Amino acid sequence: MKLSGKVAIVTGGSRGIGKAVARIFTEEGADVVITAREDSRLQSTAKQLGVIGFAGDVRREEDVENVVKKTLDKFARIDILVNNAGIFPEVRPLHEISKSEWSEVVDTNLTGQFLFTKAVIPHMMRNGGCVVNVSSDAGLRTFENFEADAYSATKAALIHLTKTWAIEYAKYKIRINCVCPGIVETDMTEPYLRTEADRAMAVAEHPIGRIGRPEDVAKAILYFATEDSSWVTGAILPVDGGISVK
């Protein structure tokens, strides 16, 4: 029970990687709050996992502050934040992206992480804590024919912010780390894995020989959330079957 007595907030916790994180955190003894925009699926997941679901939109500061307030009202502390919420835009070249499409991705994948981290940091400054950001291999390197510029930009920015925040808050014993998944089988990637040819192409990209599972990423996040990584901050960990080193 490596997280016994700890309180964690997981954004984007109703499905995919966030759901897997909530499950493994609960198994390790944490009190877990998950948050997402869609309340019906959120509450269904919360009931299934035995956690608490507070609906909110990471793009809205008032929603973020409400989730943090409700968590504090319930548990009186916040030890862990997993900034997992994110969206993947429709793939198209830069010159065809509208400003509204760009802004939606930036607001969800970057501003939301800023707002949640900003909201929890003052409460972690008392007793320490940790933040784990979920970026992507797309933030580490470029990929041919990967026309998702706003997504790549936000994920790269989140990597740099991880390092910036790690230095800024180390004196408060707050650790900030980041995982960078490759292709993981989730609702977000399902449209790109529908055919056997698509799946074979995705598998071939990963030297380890398979697509990732949400649990693969969740286990890496668990490491950063526990005392096993008590001397680790500002780390950027690819969890990607080796794709980032090709």
Domain range for 33: 7-245
Considering all CA atoms of the chain, what is the largest pairwise distance in Å, rounded to the nearest integer? Answer: 52
- The number of distinct structural domains making up the chain is 1
The single residue of 151, 169, 172, 223 carrying the catalytic annotation is: 151
What pLDDT, in 10s, does the model give residues 71-86? 999 999 999 999 999 9
What pLDDT, in 10s, does the model give residues 162-199? 999 999 999 999 999 999 999 999 988 888 898 999 99
Mean pLDDT, residues 113-131: 98
Q: Does residue 146 register a pLDDT over 90?
A: no
Q: What's at 134, amino acid-wise? A: V
Q: How many CB atoms lie within 10 A of CB 200?
A: 10
Q: At which residue do the structure tokens 């490759």 appear?
A: 182
Residue 192 annotated to the active site: no
CATH number, domain of 96, equals 3.40.50.720
CB 54 within 8 A of CB 68: no
Q: Per the domain annotation, does 1 fall within a domain? A: no
User: Residue 191: its pLDDT value, please?
Assistant: 86
Q: Per the domain annotation, does 232 fall within a domain? A: yes
Q: Per the domain annotation, does 124 fall within a domain? A: yes
> How much is the pTM?
0.97
What pLDDT, in 10s, does the model give residues 52-108? 999 999 999 999 999 999 999 999 999 999 999 999 999 899 999 999 999 999 999
Q: Per the domain annotation, does 185 fall within a domain? A: yes
What pLDDT, in 10s, does the model give residues 190-218? 888 989 999 998 999 999 999 999 999 99
Counting other chains too, the contacts that 61-68 makes at CB distance below 8 Å and 24 or more residues apart are 61/115, 64/112, 64/115, 64/116, 64/119, 65/119, 67/9, 67/33, 67/35, 68/9, 68/116, 68/119, 68/120, 68/123
Token couple for 25? 């955190």
- CA-nearest of 81, 75, 76 to 35 is 81
Q: Per the domain annotation, does 20 fall within a domain? A: yes
User: Residue 41: its pLDDT value, please?
Assistant: 97
Q: Per the domain annotation, does 34 fall within a domain? A: yes
Q: Per the domain annotation, does 73 fall within a domain? A: yes
Q: Per the domain annotation, does 72 fall within a domain? A: yes
